[in-house]
Homo-oligomer: A and B are copies of this chain.
């Protein structure tokens, strides 16, 4: 049988979804609590620093999700470009599911709030985890470490920019077109 999700998990999930849609400052604690079906006392028990803790947990959770998609995309990929392409198509599908409107699941939440530098550091950590995951697949496909790191960074830059443009235009095809922009058209 399916496990009942813990109070903590319900909080993180609700917070992730709401932060993605309305941003950190745009989301009220009450809203998160209502959505999660959790009283205020529980929040401050699991996350003593309240909203800020919750945001960091949401960022961590999101990074892990993205890495999971990277894993799924590269596991059977014969080369780097194919892995990236699969990733972009998967994310385009997710984009469509999310109403074409949500913030990039990884950055959106991390440049707001009073605790600016704590959030920046958290974003850097999450981002580096993602880049490292991609770079590892680059190395596995024969790239020297430095090249792999560089390729992974270029990919993340392109993905971040594409997601933003896709969101602005409400067109997931922007995401699907990224590999052609980065590596030229397929012959």
Give how many copies assemble into the complex: 2
Q: Which residue of B lies closest to A112 (CB)?
A: B23
| Residue pair A165, B169 in contact (C-beta under 8 Å) | no
For residue A167, CB closer than 8 A to chain B, the reply is yes
Contact-size category for A: 35 or more
Separation of A63 and B153 alpha carbons in the complex (Å): 27
Q: Is the CB of A168 within 8 A of B120?
A: yes
Q: A127 an interface residue at 8 Å Cβ cutoff?
A: yes
* A64 beta carbon closer than 8 Å to chain B: no
Query: A33-41, A89-97, A101-109: which one contacts chain B?
Result: A101-109
A153 vs chain B, min Cβ distance (A): 7
Specify which of B111, B154, B168 is in contact with A23 (CB 8 Å cutoff).
B111
Within 8 A of B (CB), among A146-187: 153-154, 156-162, 164-165, 167-170, 174, 178, 181
- Is B111's CB under 8 angstroms from A103's CB? yes
Contact B168 A161 (CB under 8 A): no
For A113, A153, A168, A170, which residue has the most chain B Cβ atoms within 10 angstroms? A168
Chain B residues contacting A153 (CB-CB under 8 Å) are: 165, 181
A157 touches B158 (CB 8 A): yes
Instruction: Determine if A113 and B26 form an interchain contact, defined as CB atoms under 8 angstroms apart.
Output: yes
Across the two chains, which residue of chain B brings its CB closest to A157? B161
Give A residues with C-beta under 8 Å from B. 22-26, 101, 103, 107-108, 110-113, 116, 120, 123-124, 127, 153-154, 156-162, 164-165, 167-170, 174, 178, 181
